[in-house]
Amino acid sequence: MRFSQLRGQRLSTLVAMEFLVCQNCAFVDEDSERMRKGYPCPVCEAPSVGGFPYFPSSIRDVLDMMQSAFHRGLTTPPFVDSTVGTPTQTADGSRLATIIYFSTLSDLLLEHFLREIASARDVTSPVVEYLLRETPYTRGRIEKLFPLLTQTKFGKAVSLVSNRTQRDYATIVTLAKDTNAKRNDLLHAGDKWAIAAGLPEECIDRSPELFELFASLHNEFVHPIYYNSLTPYLRLPDE
């Protein structure tokens, strides 16, 4: 499916909300059976008490805002590109907004992972907030915070989960890095020409890969901590 052509349905319902997390061992997958009460987790066998989306609503909202911004810039017939037979983007503001939302999405996914791994390692909230304040930019979080909390460099971690899942996550990392640089060129230098014509569409179509990457990183680094401990991932009200 080309998600850039999706209309009438929020992209988050097909992408972000598909990822559910075991409330006991913290394994993340797209097993919809987790929504059924009593369903045994295929990994730890703990009975489910209901489906828990792994990605928070703040991240899902940004994904939907990106989708909305992208479609606001699409013309409708008869203004159709005859060479491709599909609507084309004409509004610069919409194209640029799509890029900004995509970069924000990748930043939020990284921060969410860092908070998850920090929590799993029992890093206190004040310390987590201090670390995030001291490294407010993506590059610093990738080069400093990620290896600090995972004991693994980011590039090596991406290679590790790529091999384990048989997915080439290096390409989506490259897209996110390049898009982030173009966003900075736009915001700080006003260079709207840095945004190639097909980039907004690529960001929409490939956004699910970002979610797959960070779910895989979670399963590689966060899940084993809970699986090997007696502490459940989610503390339910009756516990």
Higher-pLDDT residue of 183, 132: 132
- In the chain, pLDDT over 90 holds for what percent of residues? 72
Q: Dihedral angle at the C-alpha atoms of 21, 215, 18, 228, nearest 10 degrees?
A: -20
Contact between 233 and 22 under an 8 Å Cβ cutoff? The reply is: yes
Contact between 88 and 75 under an 8 Å Cβ cutoff? The reply is: yes
What is the C-alpha R_g of the chain? 19
Distance CA 70, CA 91 (A): 9
Contact between 121 and 149 under an 8 Å Cβ cutoff? The reply is: yes
Backbone phi and psi for residue 190, each to the nearest 5 degrees, phi listed first:
65, 25
Contact between 233 and 24 under an 8 Å Cβ cutoff? The reply is: yes
Position 72 scores a pLDDT of 82
Distance CA 228, CA 73 (A): 49
Retrieve residue 82's tokens: 């005859």
Q: Residue 81, SS3?
A: strand
Q: What is the DSSP letter of 73?
A: T
Q: What is the pLDDT of residues 108-167, one digit of tens each?
A: 999 999 999 999 999 999 999 999 999 999 999 999 999 999 999 999 999 999 999 999
Give just the sign of the alpha carbon dihedral 124, 222, 216, 174.
positive
Backbone phi and psi for residue 92, each to the nearest 5 degrees, phi listed first:
-60, -40
Q: What is the pLDDT of residues 83-102, one digit of tens each?
A: 444 444 444 678 889 999 99
Position 80 scores a pLDDT of 40
Contact between 63 and 16 under an 8 Å Cβ cutoff? The reply is: yes
Q: What is the pLDDT of residues 195-204, one digit of tens each?
A: 777 899 999 9
Q: Residue 191, SS3?
A: coil
Distance CA 50, CA 36 (A): 6
Q: Residue 66, SS3?
A: helix
Position 85 scores a pLDDT of 46
Position 94 scores a pLDDT of 83
Distance CA 141, CA 208 (A): 22
Over 60: is that where the pLDDT of 78 sits?
no
Give just the sign of the alpha carbon dihedral 193, 198, 199, 204.
positive
Distance CA 15, CA 57 (A): 12
Identify how many contiguous H helices and E strands the chain contains and give both numbers.
10, 4
Position 95 scores a pLDDT of 82
Contact between 179 and 73 under an 8 Å Cβ cutoff? The reply is: no
